[in-house]
Amino acid sequence: IAGITQAPTSQILAAGRRMTLRCTQDMRHNAMYWYRQDLGLGLRLIHYSNTAGTTGKGEVPDGYSVSRANTDDFPLTLASAVPSQTSVYFCASSEGSGGNGYTFGSGTRLTVV
């Protein structure tokens, strides 16, 4: 592993199903983030974690939950998927307040039907 690994790469999910998107980093960054990216819109923050054991809500948290049991892993769970959650999901991490930039995973393309 080098950087951030996301899984799966893509997924088609039936509405109402539960789904967990996985994110693992090996850079020992304290802060981690989940974004969704939709055509014509900027990246929107779903949830974040400034350090292991803490999480916070971003701009669009409804319908999503996260956990941060350790430094490396930051899974995102959709409890009951809806079509409006069709999007590309990016996990990112940063060292400290992010002045050196955020490192992004390669993304998960999720389609809810």
Partner 1 sequence: GQNIDQPTEMTATEGAIVQINCTYQTSGFNGLFWYQQHAGEAPTFLSYNVLDGLEEKGRFSSFLSRSKGYSYLLLKELQMKDSASYLCAVQDSNYQLIWGAGTKLIIKP
Which chain residues interact with partner 1 by CB under 8 A? 40-45, 48, 58, 90, 97-107
Of 83, 100, 99, 110, residue with least CA distance to 91: 110
Least Å distance, CB 99 to partner 1, is: 6
Least Å distance, CB 19 to partner 1, is: 20
Q: How many helices (H) and strands (E) does the chain have?
A: 0, 11
Least Å distance, CB 41 to partner 1, is: 6
Say if residues 81 and 113 touch (Cβ distance below 8 Å).
no
Identify which of residues 57 and 63 has a Cβ nearer to partner 1 in the complex.
57
Report the C-alpha gap between 45 and 87 in whole angstroms. Answer: 13
Identify which of residues 55 and 107 has a Cβ nearer to partner 1 in the complex.
107
